[in-house]
A and B are shown apart, each in its own frame.
Chain A
Amino acid sequence: MSTLIAATILTPLVSAVLGLAARTRTRARDAATLVGLGTAAAASLMLLVRVSTEGTHVVRVGGWHPELGIVLVADLFAALVLPVALTIIFVVELFAIGQRRTAWGANPELAGPLLGVMTAGVSLAMLTGDLFTLFVAFELILVSSYVLLTHQGRRAQIRAGMSYVAMNLLASTLFLFGLAFIYAATGTVNLALLTERIPELSEGVRLGIGAWFFVVFGTKAAVFPLFSWLPDAYPTAPTTITAVFAGLLTKIGIYAMIRFHTLTGMDRLGSVMLIVAGVTMVVGALGALAQSDVKRILSFHIISQIGYMLMGLGLFSAAGTAGAILFLVHHMPVKTVLFLVGGLIENDQGTGSLDRSGGMAARRPLIAALFAIPALSLAGLPPFSGFVAKFAVISAGIEAASIPIVVAALAAGALTLLSMAKIWIGVFWGSSPDASDGRETAPGNRRTMLAATGLAVAGTLTISLFAGTLFDLSLRASDDLRAPDSYRSAVLS
């Protein structure tokens, strides 16, 4: 199993190096990237199967004791989320290959290799067993995201990139300070040892550390009021890049939060988290309603949906954490697909603005269908995966008798549906605008793009098909996180 763990981190890195070396030799570069990302995704799937049957597996890098060295821990939570994340990156790279010749595409010489670096960072962030390696993994992901966001050097990208970089850099610096606090208080940054030592600290220190990391991970996850950089930065990047960002980046913040705050038993922060979650959901959904551009509406939805995951975590119950994990698994592919469809719309219309498009349901019924499925899923309508995930989170809220947050969740769901209807009316209904104003509609390789999007939609449908199994796995993962004894003994023995 150690080979599988190593493969998820190392193969994308190697493929990134090969891809950069191949430079303009398109076929070699694409082959290197696809093989690297595909291997990592396949390895993570096998990891899920092995971990769910054989239990947590631990790799001590270099053979050091966990107190001194780096450990990689494949527990059920990591093994469940990782395949989803890596499959998404693989699909997006396929889409990027189809889109490369269009004005909306990313520079192919950089996009593939940098996605490889990002994949390695994502795997490392999910598998790592200590907070400092988590910091390094965050940096790996962020540095590649900085470059992906700004590499075309357009004016809007530099403007939005600057606030994006500054915000994340501040969060990273706060992360470092937090590590110093934790090390000064406990003498370790290893998560397994922290599960033992943090509960022994005095109440004030414990809550201080918990609140500090809530801010750090909350900035990465774009929770209220730390979200303003997101809707500004995401829509300026090329579609494929935005799709990866939307599917993964904020979710890594939530992932880290679920892992850290649940393992160290920060139940006392629950009520603060619930308040933040409620405001995040409603503000994100209202923000989406006020926009008139497909990508900006979808960007505000990201914020709103983060609220649901935070709600599941903030309940600090077995069902709540399981709901948050299931929501994470559902949300990543659905959000990515929606942005990919947004890319197809832009390709076809030459714009993502609702005012200037229309009539696509008649001209491109396939794209309309590809949009409708994930859109209804995101709004939480049965029988799609969003319904199952929302149902899990909300029923956990009812179980915990937190009525205000349940009401906020339902209201935000209705608002989400409303803004999806806004996209549908603006883009797919109505009459086609005249295409005579000289806009660019370079088609790219539409077949590859449609195939990649179709594949991803099929993936989201699979999630709703296996919702029962996934919920059982989420419940097991949340039980493991909430009773950290097994985690601790697996790492330390």
Chain B
Amino acid sequence: MSLALLITVGGLTSVGLYLITARALSRVILGFTLLGHAAVVALVTSGGPAGQAPIVGATDGDMANPLPQALALTAIVISFGLTLFLLALAGRQQELSGDDLVEDDLEDRRIARANRREVDGHEVDRHEVGVS
């Protein structure tokens, strides 16, 4: 197993994980792209040592293991489609709110609101936090 490939996997994974913790969707999407690449390289690495192209009758000597390559190809196609979907989501988010930042989730906002209510001492309409 080649050390260079392992380092690549590690590097891509760490950069990808760092990016998906960001608040901006464009960074999150880049992060997922890098993570996907890392997984694909890991899949290819798992097939064992490199060799010649696995074509029956056209290669002599050691062939590369074709099965992980087939798996990796499938994974690439899927992550390609999902990246596009994420981009569409981010586009819609920008349309709705003018930026591409991830919003707080409902429970977070509820807790923050309850806190504020205790501090300010005034009652907030409970209905406005419900899901409509």
Cβ-defined contact, B71 with A179, below 8 A: yes
B127 contacts across to A, CB distance below 8 A: 353, 355-356
A184 contacts across to B, CB distance below 8 A: 1, 45-46
Out of A155, A159, A183, A235, name the residue touching B46 (CB < 8 Å).
A183
B78 contacts across to A, CB distance below 8 A: 136, 139
Which A residues between 132 and 171 are near B, CB-CB below 8 angstroms? 132, 135-136, 139, 143, 146-147, 150, 153, 155-156, 158-163, 165-166, 169-170
Cβ-defined contact, A159 with B131, below 8 A: no
Which A residues between 218 and 236 are near B, CB-CB below 8 angstroms? 228, 231-232, 235-236
Cβ-defined contact, A236 with B32, below 8 A: no
Nearest CB to that of B93 among chain A residues? A158
Any chain B CB within 8 A of the CB of A295? yes
Any chain B CB within 8 A of the CB of A296? yes
B40 contacts across to A, CB distance below 8 A: 176
| Minimum Cβ distance to chain B for residue A129 (Å) | 15
Out of B28, B39, B130, name the residue touching A293 (CB < 8 Å).
B130
Bound-state CA distance A68–B68 (Å) is: 10
| Minimum Cβ distance to chain A for residue B83 (Å) | 9
Cβ-defined contact, A235 with B35, below 8 A: no
| Minimum Cβ distance to chain A for residue B56 (Å) | 13
Which B residues between 80 and 122 are near A, CB-CB below 8 angstroms? 81-82, 85-86, 89, 92-93, 96-97, 102-103, 105-107
Bound-state CA distance A72–B94 (Å) is: 43
A189 contacts across to B, CB distance below 8 A: 71
A150 contacts across to B, CB distance below 8 A: 89, 92
Which B residues between 20 and 45 are near A, CB-CB below 8 angstroms? 20, 25, 28, 32, 35-36, 38-40, 42-43, 45
Interface centre among A132, A162, A292, A356 (most CB of B within 10 A): A162
A235 in contact with B131 given A163-B105, A181-B46 (CB within 8 Å): yes
Cβ-defined contact, A162 with B131, below 8 A: no
Any chain A CB within 8 A of the CB of B2? no
| Minimum Cβ distance to chain A for residue B129 (Å) | 9
A355 in contact with B126 given A165-B86, A184-B46 (CB within 8 Å): yes
Any chain A CB within 8 A of the CB of B63? no
Interface size class, chain A: 35 or more
A355 contacts across to B, CB distance below 8 A: 126-127, 130
Cβ-defined contact, B75 with A292, below 8 A: no
| Minimum Cβ distance to chain A for residue B39 (Å) | 4
Out of B32, B85, B131, name the residue touching A173 (CB < 8 Å).
B32
Any chain B CB within 8 A of the CB of A455? no
Any chain B CB within 8 A of the CB of A351? yes
Nearest CB to that of A163 among chain B residues? B105
Cβ-defined contact, A183 with B68, below 8 A: yes
Cβ-defined contact, A162 with B85, below 8 A: no
Interface centre among A159, A236, A296 (most CB of B within 10 A): A159
Interface size class, chain B: 35 or more
Cβ-defined contact, B89 with A163, below 8 A: no
- Majority SS at the chain A contact face: helix
| Minimum Cβ distance to chain A for residue B66 (Å) | 9
Out of B32, B47, B85, B89, name the residue touching A158 (CB < 8 Å).
B89
Cβ-defined contact, B47 with A183, below 8 A: yes
B92 contacts across to A, CB distance below 8 A: 150, 153, 158
A172-197 near B? 1/0 per residue, CB < 8 Å: 01001101110110000100000000
| Minimum Cβ distance to chain A for residue B54 (Å) | 12
Nearest CB to that of B68 among chain A residues? A183
Any chain B CB within 8 A of the CB of A352? yes
A236 in contact with B85 given A132-B74, A181-B46 (CB within 8 Å): no
Nearest CB to that of A439 among chain B residues? B132
B39 contacts across to A, CB distance below 8 A: 173, 176-177, 180
Nearest CB to that of B36 among chain A residues? A173
Nearest CB to that of B17 among chain A residues? A170
A393-410 near B? 1/0 per residue, CB < 8 Å: 000000000000000000
A179 contacts across to B, CB distance below 8 A: 43, 46, 71
Cβ-defined contact, B43 with A232, below 8 A: no
Bound-state CA distance A292–B74 (Å) is: 44
A353 contacts across to B, CB distance below 8 A: 127, 130
Cβ-defined contact, B32 with A160, below 8 A: no
Bound-state CA distance A150–B92 (Å) is: 10
Bound-state CA distance A135–B39 (Å) is: 13
Cβ-defined contact, A160 with B86, below 8 A: no
Any chain A CB within 8 A of the CB of B50? no
Cβ-defined contact, B42 with A180, below 8 A: yes
Out of B71, B85, B93, name the residue touching A146 (CB < 8 Å).
B85
B102 contacts across to A, CB distance below 8 A: 159, 162-163
Bound-state CA distance A184–B43 (Å) is: 8
| Minimum Cβ distance to chain B for residue A163 (Å) | 6
Cβ-defined contact, B131 with A169, below 8 A: no
Any chain A CB within 8 A of the CB of B67? yes
Bound-state CA distance A75–B117 (Å) is: 56
B86 contacts across to A, CB distance below 8 A: 165, 169
Nearest CB to that of A287 among chain B residues? B107
Given contacts A177-B42, A352-B131, 11 further A-B contacts (CB under 8 A): A153-B92, A155-B96, A156-B131, A159-B93, A159-B102, A162-B89, A162-B102, A173-B36, A180-B43, A228-B107, A235-B131
Interface residues of B (CB under 8 A from A): 1, 20, 25, 28, 32, 35-36, 38-40, 42-43, 45-47, 67-68, 71, 74-75, 78, 81-82, 85-86, 89, 92-93, 96-97, 102-103, 105-107, 126-127, 130-132
The 6 closest A-B pairs by CB, nearest first: A176-B39, A184-B46, A180-B42, A183-B46, A180-B46, A353-B130
